[in-house]
Amino acid sequence: MTDVIIENERIKELGPNLSSSSAEVIDLKGRTLMPGLIDCHVHVIAALADLGANGRLPDSLITARALVLMRNMLMRGFTTVRDVGGADHGLIQVTREGVFPTPRVLTSGNALSQTGGHCDFRGRFNSDPVPFSKIPLGALGRICDGEQEIRRAAREELKGGADFIKIMANGGCASPTDPIHFLGFSRQELLAVVEEAGNAGTYVSAHLYTDQAIRRCVECGVHSLEHCNLIERDTAVFAASQGAFAVPTLVTYDKLVSEGAEKGFPAEALAKVDTVRKAGMDSLSVMREAGLTMAYGSDLLGDMQCHQSEEFVIRGRVLPAQEVIASATHNAAKLLRMEGQIGTICPEAYADLIVVNGNPLEDLALLTEQGGHMPIIFQGGQIIKRQELS
């Protein structure tokens, strides 16, 4: 039995038989206490599964829906999330003011994409110029071409408070004119954006599927490798040797196949999903054997965001439960460069804690069902949810 003393927003002390004269005591009666969960790949502005249509919604509607999406994440036990495309600093400011219940959010601001890349939703027959400013909040990203433009775009996102830079370096499912095998950006552009992020003391995260795209990005210094469905052994070993992280997002492909069409995901985009979905499960073993560190990601869009916690169960079919939980706690904190602050229960860390009925190491499904097995959720020392414990 261990006691945890929380003072203000942080954990003060940890150990057996602690006491404090002023503290309120909560007896967990044998339940599991664990660090709040961390999802390293979300899009809080993705109110709709059709990202092209999402980008045409008014900012007010996107903001309101993002607050609902973020509250639901928190109630599932995700006390911190990393937004990899879309959330602007206004939205981040709202999360910090503490008026609305939301996870702690780190953001890339707009993701960067080349013309015809994964953030170009204009389609074949629209050659309207792309906006360089006043980008709608519902757009996941912005278009930039050439070394000069990508540097400027990265600098603008960093000026706007981005915690890291997100780039689209491979074709994608949700966008209309970029097959999966397309490589996004030239090597020169990749090196330029990695330099810009490095100059600001941070890193680049890249949307990637194919082995070739992953290898090229790691060679250019990209640190956070999103999706990685088609990664092969040698590249995984190379990425691990470079200290890169992988963020698989398998649940989103499952749900796009089972629910995508009815939730408005475009039919032509759906056809691309199967290529990456089938390889996804194998990628977990490939990366594990290569020693490539994995962090938790869900990448769900629109109404499908309710399945955020099911990634635990999907990964648990291939990986030990302890490693799956580490991906959403210890590994995620490392990727977010918040080690010792989040994803852990130790003195000085934020008091981001969840109480679970039962032991998730024995049953990862206890982390699903919208926080239904979590009677208590703390974030930064604040009680977010509290049910009577019997």
Enumerate binding residues for Zn ion (CB under 5 A): 299
| Close Cβ partners of 372 (under 8 Å, ≥ 6 residues apart) | none
> Whose Cβ is closer to Zn ion: residue 211's or residue 299's?
299
Start-end of H helices in the chain:
51-54, 59-75, 89-97, 147-159, 187-199, 211-219, 233-241, 250-259, 267-290, 310-316, 321-327, 330-335
Query: In whole angstroms, how close is the CB of 41 to Zn ion at the nearest point?
Result: 6
> Whose Cβ is closer to Zn ion: residue 183's or residue 251's?
251
> Whose Cβ is closer to Zn ion: residue 164's or residue 378's?
164
Q: How many CA atoms lie within 13 A of 218 on its CB side?
A: 26
Query: In whole angstroms, how close is the CB of 23 to Zn ion at the nearest point?
Result: 41
Please state, in angstroms and rounded to a whole number, the distance separating the CA atoms of residues 130 and 67: 28
> Whose Cβ is closer to Zn ion: residue 165's or residue 355's?
165
> Whose Cβ is closer to Zn ion: residue 162's or residue 384's?
162
Residue from 300, 362, 370, 386 nearest 77 by CA: 370
Whether 190 contacts 203, CB under 8 Å: no
Query: In whole angstroms, how close is the CB of 231 to Zn ion at the nearest point?
Result: 16
Query: In whole angstroms, how close is the CB of 81 to Zn ion at the nearest point?
Result: 12
Instruction: List C-alpha distances in Å: 176 to 76, 121, 180, 264.
Output: 32, 6, 11, 14
Q: Which residue is nearest to Zn ion (CB)?
A: 299
Query: In whole angstroms, how close is the CB of 42 to Zn ion at the nearest point?
Result: 8
CA triple 212-217-222, angle to 5 deg? 150
Q: What is the DSSP letter of 24?
A: P
Query: In whole angstroms, how close is the CB of 85 to Zn ion at the nearest point?
Result: 6
CA triple 199-86-45, angle to 5 deg? 155
> Whose Cβ is closer to Zn ion: residue 113's or residue 331's?
113
